[in-house]
Structures are given as structure tokens and as C-alpha cells.
Structure 1
Amino acid sequence: MSQQAAPPNRIRQLREAAGMSQQEVADAIATSTGGKVSTTAGTVSRWENGVSPLPVFRRALADVFGVKVPELGVPSAAPVPRPRSSAEDFMPDVEQDQRVVDSQRSWKSTRTLLNQNRHRLSQVAAGLYPDHQLGATGLITGPGWIPDAPVDLADIALTELPGAPEPVLDGTEREAARMLPDLTLTRPYPRYTQAVRDLARPRLFEDRVSWRMTGVDWSDGAGRMGFAATTYFAAVDVFEPTAHELAYVALDADGGLAERPTLRDLPYRKLIGAPFTFARRPVMPAISTLTVRRDGDRAEFLMHRRDPRAVAAAGGMLQVIPSGIFQPSSILPAARALDFDLWRNVQREFSEELLGMPECDGHGRPVDYTSGPFAVLDEARASGQLSVHCLGVALDALTLVGEILTVLVVNADVFDGLAADFVDRNDEGQVVAERFPFTEGGVRGLLSSGRVAPAGAGCLELAWRWREHLLPA
């Protein structure tokens, strides 16, 4: 008889003995350290499966479980020197000059105002492109980016272009310098992501391989989308300075709207030029999905409140769920081939955000789409109990980030079977317990509330426009 392998450590055993979920352990670590360190449920899962936590997390875990560090059962490892941050490289063990401190404090203040006023600023930004606004959602759309009717994801052909030229802009341009705080008296931060990392890091902030959009076309009731490779930080280095610039110019110190700027007042946005030209910058799209539960002639939908401490964008706003960047689940070639599929991306985000499954953070094995909730969703789709359509492509006017807007309609029996395992919270925020009626009052009430992120508002706007197509009698 083969012996069962010994667990890699006692973290799972201690967590289960304490009656805690992986997310509760992650939250407790942040609380026990006064917010000085934080982690995610996915990282706790990796620790339980043998990844060795850093010493600071070992101490925090011991505090959370009320044990001594050796009782965690984590194998000892030789100490590894902590890599110095870019700030430490340039300022070794010396006190910062007050002018540098003031520059960084001003930058952080503007970033805080940006995150607190994203909805208002998206409306201001959309006004810069009056001929391309998608209602009052804060989205703008390029010519031909919205199809004549919803298109089933199965009817959209994706093409990857490995030899596509690199975008012209990368966030290091002279016009972007005003959005970067000082690193030293003689040098600003070289990139926006490095400033975020050092001065205002959200809980989820990791560079990952992603896809950037190179084209979109709708014809004959079908669709074609082109993509090339990029990374998450490469896109952030362009889209967050674009938003930061507008906040800096448009808002006063209290977050009030000081003025409505023109493109002449926004040199970096002006440098980007026509926002619908994919070659100018990395247009990294998110896939945002409105999930609708259908029960006969009644329908209702879910929303997600994004935690501003956890995410780099749309923090504090309501968003449709699931929603996530279009990117492979792993750096392994087999995963990349499997994951170059809009439906697979929707499924992964559904499993992570609604079912609490560990996030596919780019470092694991390819996802097994033949089991668990993936198999349930595939079967429901094949049997006609679930449909998933694309409503179009748009840009968040504030950041000029791409948005692939989709809607998933699922019969009540399938939905309720999955909903039995829905979580209240996930790594990105809180799943709103209330289900909103998919009625004109329910949709318009949310859209007029000023609380919905642009992508979510676009999904609601278009889904209600095409409700008879999506929910046929």
C-alpha cells in the first residue's frame, strides 16, 4: 500500500483548526501587521501547497494562529538578501530631501483624488471625444466597434500576431514626466508603475504577460479581433499617467471640479492622439461580463464592489462580475494556447471572483477546463441553458483602456447550483449580496447612481438595448 505524502507544512491544518478561510487568513495578516504587509487568498493557497512564505509572513501567520514560527512546519531556508528598491538604489541610508518628500506627497495626493473621482473624471474625459461617447457611461467607441446585434463568443475569430510592431508610446515620453514624482533631487521616477510600487501599492499589483488589441471588426453577424503580446505594467505605464494627468488638471485640492480641460491642457493625452489607433499605445483589454440569472420571464443580475485598497483601477466603484484582463493563466506555452479564448477568460474570472477559486497568477500549470465549474459552464452552454455574447468593444475614456463588453445569461437551475458556493468577498472586493432586477428601473437606477464603473455601465446600457435578443420570449 502506498503511503500518503506528508503535507509540505502545517498552514492548512492550522487554518482549518481555526475555522478560517484563506481570504480570512489574508485579511488577518493585514490586520495583525497594521497594514504594513498584505497578501491574497491565492498566495495563502500556494503556501499551503508548499511555496515557502517569506520570514515576515511566517511571523504574521504565527501571530494569526497563535503559535510559534517553528510550529508552522515551514522548512528553513538560507536567508536571501532583499533586493533594494529603485528608491534605495539612489538614496542609500540617507534622509530624503524635503523637496523630494513634497513631490512624492503631491503625487500621492493627486492619485488619491484620481481614485476617489474616477466616475466623475470618466465623464469629463468622455466629453473630450463628443462624437464617440457611449451614452453617459464614460466609455467611448471607435467607428464600427459596436456590432449591429450581440455576437455569440463562438462566432468571434481571434488572431494572435507575434510579429506585430511595438506601440509607439511606452510612458517614458517627455510629456509624461509631469505625472511622475521625484525619486531624487535630480531624477524623477522613470516609470509610473515604479512610483505606484513604492508610494501607493495596491494589494493586487503584479506584472503579468497579457494580450494587447491590434484590431476589431464586425461583419456578417460575426467578429474578428487581433491581438499581440504585452505586459500588464507596460499598459499601466501609459493608461494610468493618462488618467493622472486629467485628475491633476481638472480637480482642485478637495476633489472638486476646478475646470473642464481641453486636449490643449493635456499634453500627454494630446500626444496619444486619436484614441482608436491601436498602434500608438498598448491597448490592453479587460473582458467585463454582465451575469444575468433568468427564471422564466424574470431576470436579475449581479454586481461587484471593487476594493480601492486591492486594485489599481476602479476602486470603490460597482462593476459587473466577472471582469478581468485578457491574459493567459500561466507562462507555460500550453496554457497560452488554451487561454487565447474569450470564453475561457470569462470562465476563469467567474471561478475566481464568484467561487473563490485561487487566482491563476501566471505561474502555475495550465487550467484543467474539463472539471469543476468549467465543466458545468461548458455543459450548460452546450445544452442551451447558458449563452454568452459580445456586445462590442469600447475604451474607458479616462484611461483609454480597452473593454470587451460581454453578457452571460444563465438559466435559474444552473445559476442556483453554482450560487450555492458563491463567496461574499474575493481578492478584488465584495460580491454585492443584493441581486438587481434586470428591468428598466433596475438598470436605469444603477446607471444614474454614479457608482458604476464605465465598463459595467456599458454592459448594462447595451444589454438593456438588446434585451429582446438576449432574453427571447
Structure 2
Amino acid sequence: MADVEAPNRLAELRARAALTQQEVAARAGVAVTANQVSRWERGEQVPSLRYQRALAGLFGVEVPALGFPDRPATRVPRARSSAEDFMSDVEQDPRVQASQDGWTATRRLLNAHRHELAQTAAGLYPGHALAGTGLIAGPGWIPDAPVDLADVSLVEVPDATPPMLDGTEREAARVLPDESLMRSYARYTRAVRDLAPPRLFEDRHAWRLLGVDWARPTLAFGDTTYFGAADVFESLAHELAYVALDADGNPASDPSLRDLPYRRLVGDPFAFDRRPVMPAISTLTIRRDGDRGELLLHRRDPRAVAAAGGMLQVIPSGVFQPSSLLPAAREADFSIWRNIQRELSEELFGLPEADGHGRPVDYAAGPYAVLDAARAEGRLSVHCLGVALDALTLVGEILTVLVVDAPVFDELARDFVDRNDEGRVESERFPFTAEGVRGLLDSGRVAPAGAGCLELAWRWRDVLLG
């Protein structure tokens, strides 16, 4: 019996990428299911163009290479749920399409020019810029010397007052595209979900920064969610990109706060009650060999991540959030060190992401136990360098440095992966020297948080290398 020709190449590309239908569904969009992917593969349905673009990005091909026909296959009509409204294959009204195309064009420019835009944004807050890194720091947010992480206390404020702004304000709506002829998108994250979904885009619980006090030293936190914070911080970034860049990505103006209504509404960037300040923990990892050091860096894949795609970043780096919503996990995970360990295990060892849906992490096993032992023996040290904000997004950044003795590092490095879900681990080890650090900082290739870690770590090089 002759083989039946496949209606498209989706099943072939999925098999080549070693992904299940469920994994493809999770990365293609919020309302996509494994059954939906199965129907696409069998040719029973043809995904709309927005989902074809998402699939092409997932497999690293152009849309035509997916092999879908130009016109949707005939199918039996069925009732749609409200969650599937945006999946319609019906042709958009040209006015809606123009609005969405303009929005996605600005978002592409935003992601391509985050370094320059961060520098522009830092200039809006004179006196607070951190040495040209694209970060700004509030009064007292950078300690006078690195603080051993063991000396930093974390305080949780479970009944913290919600922030005043949530991304649905009239000023934020100006950067949102049309969802239909009579309705604009209500939130920025919904527009990203539909029009420009990266592979990793999921709403999860996160901790919200509420206070910084290095005199004690203490950091205070409440609760937020990733989307709840992103609706604000990505709107701020999009607004600046739209005003500051022309259609080709060239500087169009030197905007002031008067030209940026949503940023002006946010006001004092260091006021924790104005908006949800979701912090990421960014860690510069240094291999220490005597009085010399080498740096490890990560290139973020623009198809996989919502922010800083294509840029170099320190490794590990990730949002401060629990591994699971179970009470036992939340208590254990409310730790900067545990967050660093989890991100390092995911980004360097290729362990599955603790995405909040499973069981608590077993910190007594695997690389967690090895790292704990090395720290207890003094062969690994971890310090906090300060807290800052990415000037473009006003996202919080807890800046840390992990210094690992060469024998421990080399033993761990045997199991390092060269790629992970967020990008590629750079095979080159960068020298922790004045020339090496300055070359990275001047290149414009390093994300603001990574640049801040480099700047502060070099400032205290002698303390860190001992």
C-alpha cells in the first residue's frame, strides 16, 4: 500500500525537534491544545497566520516551509468558546490589521534596540544612572561593599496594599493595538499572546519588591504575577520605543517625560506603591583560579524570550518566584540562593524548569546538594551587589555574583549544556580583567542587568577574588 502524502510538514518538524504535540501546543499560544496540533498535522484545520508564524519561529523555519495550503481546509463549523475567539481564521479588517502590524513592528524595534533605549530611558532619571549600564538605582540601593548573601534577610509582607497601577490605565491603552474593529486589546500581555508570542510566555506567581534596606540588610517582598507586572513594564518600554525610534529603528527624537504619558503617570520609579515591581535575580558567575577570574555569559534567543532577546546576559538569571504553589515549596523557595540554584540548574545543567505546577524541588539532591556543599566548605561564595531597575522597563534587578573555585567549577562544567530553553551558553570564557570587562560593557551587547553585575563586580574585584 502506498504511503499517504502528509498534508503539511508539521509532524515532520515536530519529530525532528523531539517535541510532543502538548509541548508544541504550549509554545504556540495560550488557547492551543494538543488536540488542536493533532488536527493541524492531519490537515483537518489550517492554523491562522499568527499561529503559523509562531510555529515557524518555534522550528526555526520560514512560514512557507511549514507546508500549509494558502486557503483553510473545509471543516464542519462548530461553536467557539470565548477563549478561542482570537484564533479565528477569518480575514481581519484592514484597519485592524494595520493597527496590529504597526504594533508588532514597534515591538520588533523595541527588542532590537533595547540597549540604546535603556540608555535613553536612564537619561530621564538624572542622578540615578548606574555608570552607563542602562540601570538606575534608588537612594541607598547599592551597598558600600558586596554583602554576603547569608547576611541578607528576606521579609514577606502577605497583606501588602496592591499597587496603584496595573497596565489598564488610559495612558497605557495608547500603546495597545486593535483587537477587533470596535475594541482594543485590554492588556499588553494579551496582545503579546496573540500577535508576538515567544516560546516561553506563561503567567506565574512572582514576588513583588517592597523595600530595600542595606543598613540591616533586609529586602521586603509582597505578591504579584508575571503578567500583572509585564502589563506595566512592557507598556513602558513600548511607549518609549514608539516615541524615540522611527520606522527604521533610527533615533527619531530625544523624548522627555512630557512626551511619555504612561511613564509620567508612573512617576517616581523608586516608589514601590505605584506599580508592581517584579524583581529578577541576575547572577554573574566567575570561575576563580587564584587571583584570576573568567566569566560565563548567556545569549538569549529572541524567539524564546519576551525581553532582551539577542543580547548577552549573565548566567543564571531569572524572575524571583517559587518553584511550586504548594505551601512547603513557597517557604523553601523564598530565598535568593535557592532561586539562583534553580536557575543555574535549568540554564547550565538542562534540568526541567520548576514551572510552578509540580512538586517542590528536592534541594538535597543533584546539583543543589553539590552547590550547597561547596558553599559550606568555602569553595564557593555568593554576594549581593545591590538592587537597581532596568531604566527601560523599570523591572527590578537584584544583582548578585557567584564566585566558584576552579576545581569545583571544572567538575560542574562537565555536565554543562550548550543550549537551553532561553538561548545558548557562550562557549567562550570571558576574562575578568579591566580590558575584558570594559570590552563587554562598551560593546552594547550586554543586557542592563548583566552590565550592572559586571560594573559592580569589577568595582569590588579584589574583595570578590580574595
Q: TM-score, normalised by structure 1?
A: 0.84
For 1:331 and 1:433, how far apart are their aligned partners in 2? 35
Which whole-Å CA distance do the structure 2 matches of 1:60 and 1:291 have between them? Answer: 43
1:343–1:432 CA distance, 2 compared to 1 (3 A): same
SS at match of 1:131: coil
Name the residue aligned to 2:145. 149
Confirm or deny that 1:256 pairs with 2:250: yes
Distance 1:105 1:383 in 2: 56
Aligned partner of 1:470 in structure 2 is 464
Q: What is the CA–CA distance in structure 2 between the aligned matches of 1:94 and 1:412, rounded to whole Å?
A: 59
Match in the other structure for 2:17:
28
- The answer on whether the counterparts of 1:264 and 1:270 sit within 8 Å (CA) in structure 2 is yes
- How far apart, in 1, do the equivalents of 2:267 and 2:315 lie? 32
Alignment partner of 1:232 is 2:230: no
Cα deviations across residues 176-196 of structure 1 (Å, max 9, x unaligned)? 111100011221000000000
The SS at the match of 2:17 is: helix
Does the 8 A contact of 2:25 with 2:34 survive in 1?
no
Distance 1:318 1:93, change over 3 A: closer
State yes or no: 1:97 paired with 2:93. yes
**What is the 5 A alignment of 1:369-448?**
369-448=363-442
SS at match of 2:400: strand
- Structure 2 unmatched ranges of 5 or more: 1-12, 28-32, 43-58, 60-77
Amino acid of the residue matched to residue 368 of structure 2? F
Query: Would you say the 8 A contact 2:86–2:194 is kept in 1?
Result: no
Counterpart of 2:290 (choices 292, 296, 314) is 296
The alpha carbon displacement at 1:105 in A equals 0.5
- One-letter amino acid of the counterpart of residue 197, structure 2: R
Counterpart amino acid of 2:372?
D
Q: Which amino acid aligns with 2:269?
A: P
Give CA-to-partner distance per residue, 1:137-188, whole Å, 9 cap, x none.
0000000000010001111111111110000000000001111000112210
State the SS of the aligned residue for 1:457: helix
* Residue 197 of structure 1, CA deviation: 0.2
Q: Choose which of 29, 37, 49 in structure 2 pairs with 1:56.
A: 37
Give 1:56's aligned amino acid: V
Match of 2:201 in 1: 205
CA, structure 1 residues 165+295, in 2 after alignment: closer, same or farther (shift >3 Å)?
same
Q: Distance in 2 between matches of 1:82 and 1:438?
A: 57
Conserved 8 A contact 1:38-1:203: no
Match in the other structure for 2:10? none
Q: Distance in 1 between matches of 2:181 and 2:38?
A: 34
Q: Give me the whole-angstrom Cα distance separating, in 1, the residues matched to 2:447 and 2:245.
A: 19
Structure 2 counterpart of 1:416, one-letter code: D
Name structure 1 gaps, 5 residues minimum: 1-23, 41-51, 65-79
Give distance in 1, aligned partners of 2:157 and 2:401: 27
| Amino acid corresponding to residue 282 of structure 2 in structure 1 | S
Q: Select 2:110's aligned residue among 114, 128, 131.
A: 114
**Counterparts of 1:261 and 1:201 in 2: how far apart (Å)?**
29
Instruction: Give 2:184's match in structure 1, choosing from 188, 207, 224.
Output: 188
SS of corresponding position for 2:185: coil
Distance (Å, rounded) in 1 between the aligned partners of 2:14 and 2:364: 30
Deviation at 1:26, TM superposition (A): 8.3
d(CA) in 2 for partners of 1:116 and 1:140? 21
Aligned partner of residue 140 in structure 2, secondary structure? coil
Q: Could you report, residue by residue, the CA deviation over 1:97-123 in whole angstroms, capped at 9, with x for unpaired residues?
A: 111110000000000000000001000
Q: CA deviation at 1:387?
A: 0.3
Kept in 2, the 8 Å contact 1:287–1:406? The answer is yes
Code of the aligned partner of 2:86: E
Specify the alignment match of 1:15 in structure 2. none
Q: Show the counterpart of 1:326.
A: 320
Match in the other structure for 1:88? 86
Q: Which amino acid aligns with 1:167?
A: P
Three-state SS of the structure 1 residue aligned to 2:214 is strand
1:4 is aligned to none
Separation (CA, whole Å) in 1 of partners of 2:85 and 2:259:
31
- Taking the aligned partners of 1:38 and 1:353, their CA distance within structure 2 comes to 22
Q: CA deviation at 1:85?
A: 3.7
Q: Measure the CA separation in 1 of the matches of 2:124 and 2:84.
A: 36
| Cα gap change, 1:259 to 1:55, in 2 (>3 Å) | closer
Aligned to 1:317: 311
User: Does the 8 Å contact 1:391/1:407 carry over to 2?
Assistant: yes
Cα 1:304–1:381, aligned 2, differ >3 Å: closer, same or farther?
same
Could you tell me how far apart the structure 2 residues matched to 1:26 and 1:268 are? 45
Question: How far apart, CA to CA, are the structure 2 residues paired with 1:192 and 1:208?
Answer: 16
Task: Give the alignment's TM-score, normalised by structure 2.
Answer: 0.85
1:395 and 1:229 mapped to 2: Cα distance?
18
* 1:138 maps to 2:134: yes
Q: Does 1:128 align with 2:128?
A: no
Identity %: 70
Q: Taking structure 1 as reference, are residues 151 and 28 closer, same or farther at Cα in structure 2, changes over 3 Å only?
A: same
Deviation at 1:96, TM superposition (A): 2.1
For the 8 Å contact 1:29–1:37, the answer to whether it is kept is no
Letter in 1 for 2:37: V
Per the alignment, residue 169 of structure 1 pairs with 165
Amino acid at match of 1:102: A
Q: 1:99 to 1:82 in 2, by over 3 A?
A: closer
Asked if the contact 1:204/1:312 (under 8 Å) is kept, the reply is: yes
Report if aligned partners of 1:26, 1:39 keep a CA contact under 8 Å in 2.
no
Counterparts of 2:286 and 2:187, CA distance in 1: 40
